[in-house]
Amino acid sequence: MWSRKRLDIGWLDLAYSAANCLLPAKSESAETRLLAQWSDDGDALACLSVRSGFDLSLSALDLPPGGEVLVSAVTIPDMLEIIRAHGLRAVPVDLEPATMAPRLDALRRAITPATKAILAAHLFGGRIELESISAITRERGLLLFEDCAQAYCGLAYRGHPRADVSMFSFGPIKTATALGGAVVRVRDAALRQAMRARQAAYPVQSHGALLRRIGKYACLKRLSTPVAFGLLVSACLAAGLDPDRLLNGSVRGFAQGDLLSQLRRRPSAALLALLERRLSRFDVERLDARIAASCAIIERLSATAEFPGAAAAEHCHWVMPIRVDEPRRLILALREAGFDATQGQSLCVVPAPADRPELDPRVARDTMAGIVFLPCYPEMPPAAVERLIQVLAGFRKSARGTFMAPPQFLAGSRNPA
């Protein structure tokens, strides 16, 4: 069975990271090498995660309690928890399904005198157009946070120049993963200095914790081969366990509990060294192969199927979502054909505040309710991708297995420049 996702990291990378845990270099030199290749202007800093960087920026900004942060209507729950922890209120901005970008009309309606910032997320590997959003933030005097956690495609794109803060993640299931870590670009020098000073007071991530993470993901990498993964799913089902819940829980970035205490740590020297290695050796060919496989699926099925976000002008296809009437039935049909798929549990739809029900992100909720994330990555040979296409086409033709009707303009996807 083809697993839903393959970790984008090699065995030599894992061994290199483990060795650095045992014989760590100086964190200052590792961070200097990392940030030198990322930013020519010295405007970047390394954090434990995007969540850590977001929390750090809000701490340094010290926005007044009760302020509002407008948020792309689909995000991860931890981002909402961080906003609340700073005494702020998250307000959703509904999305355009074709690009998964915030709708400008919804964005303008959501702004009030209490609005302080906008958190715009690039979702599923697509990169949304930020010029119009940044024009609104300049017009209204708002901060613009750019969440690039799902959209890393190499150093060709290192954040929008008009974003105040651009955040890139290298967590376990991300492109070019270092099993953790983030690079955060902060354009304002005073804010950047305040963030650096705050982070310097954090405890450092222990190498023991990183070693345990390396061991865990080495096991998951081994289990992601078709034979091993098929045996794992069969064993779960035989034991009465839900493999989907088990797998989604296994790749959580942080354990349940006190989130802020887990976020407020500096990345270790070993993590910084691995992150520098991953970025300096970025595998463009692997990225191109992933894009090609995803585009093949979209092009074959775009006349009858909806692929949320696929119309984004730039796309690296970090995940492969399709929207259907009966997602659970499609997941079971794919499993029977030897493909693992999921609706995912890491993303949520941001609820509207109780006093602003008119901002309910209905489009985002309807879109996410029907999404299934398909397996699609370079390790899948063309024959497997073709068989996946045939299973999807057969599901479309079945009596009840209808895809959502696609919008006319959703004709496929374009590769990143």
Q: Tell me, what CATH number does 356's domain have?
A: 3.90.1150.10
Q: Which residues pair with 120 in a beta bridge?
A: 146
Q: Which residues pair with 185 in a beta bridge?
A: 44, 166
- 255 occurs within a structural domain: no
What burial class does residue 414 get, using C-beta atoms within 10 Å of its C-beta: 0-12 exposed, 13-18 middle, 19+ buried? Answer: middle
pLDDT for position 40 = 80
Range of the domain at 386: 284-397
- 17 occurs within a structural domain: no
- 288 occurs within a structural domain: yes
pLDDT, tens only, 286-308? 999 999 999 999 999 988 899 99
Q: Which residues pair with 70 in a beta bridge?
A: 91, 118
- 344 occurs within a structural domain: yes
pLDDT > 90? residue 114: yes
- 134 occurs within a structural domain: no
Residue 173: pLDDT band (50, 70, 90) is very high
pLDDT > 60? residue 408: no
pLDDT for position 404 = 56
pLDDT for position 246 = 83
Residue 316: pLDDT band (50, 70, 90) is very high
Q: What total number of domains does the chain contain?
A: 1
pLDDT for position 256 = 76
pLDDT for position 416 = 36
Question: Does residue 122 contact residue 147 with C-beta atoms inside 8 Å?
Answer: yes
Region 176-186: mean pLDDT is 96
Question: Does residue 267 contact residue 47 with C-beta atoms inside 8 Å?
Answer: yes
Q: Which of 37-41, 85-89, 91-95, 277-281 has the lowest mean pLDDT?
A: 37-41
- 4 occurs within a structural domain: no
Residue 345: pLDDT band (50, 70, 90) is confident
What burial class does residue 261 get, using C-beta atoms within 10 Å of its C-beta: 0-12 exposed, 13-18 middle, 19+ buried? Answer: exposed
Region 212-224: mean pLDDT is 94
pLDDT > 50? residue 410: no
Region 167-177: mean pLDDT is 96
Region 85-112: mean pLDDT is 97
pLDDT for position 247 = 83
Backbone angles phi, psi at 173, to 5 degrees: -105, 15
Region 80-86: mean pLDDT is 97
pLDDT, tens only, 115-146? 999 999 999 999 999 999 999 999 999 999 99
3-state helix, strand, coil in the chain (%, to 5): 45, 15, 40
- 188 occurs within a structural domain: no
pLDDT for position 406 = 44
pLDDT > 50? residue 414: no
Please state, for a pLDDT cut of 70, what percent of the chain lies above it.
Answer: 94
Higher-confidence residue of 370 and 415: namely 370
Question: Does residue 241 contact residue 181 with C-beta atoms inside 8 Å?
Answer: no
- 198 occurs within a structural domain: no
Residue 397: pLDDT band (50, 70, 90) is confident
Residue-averaged pLDDT of the chain = 91
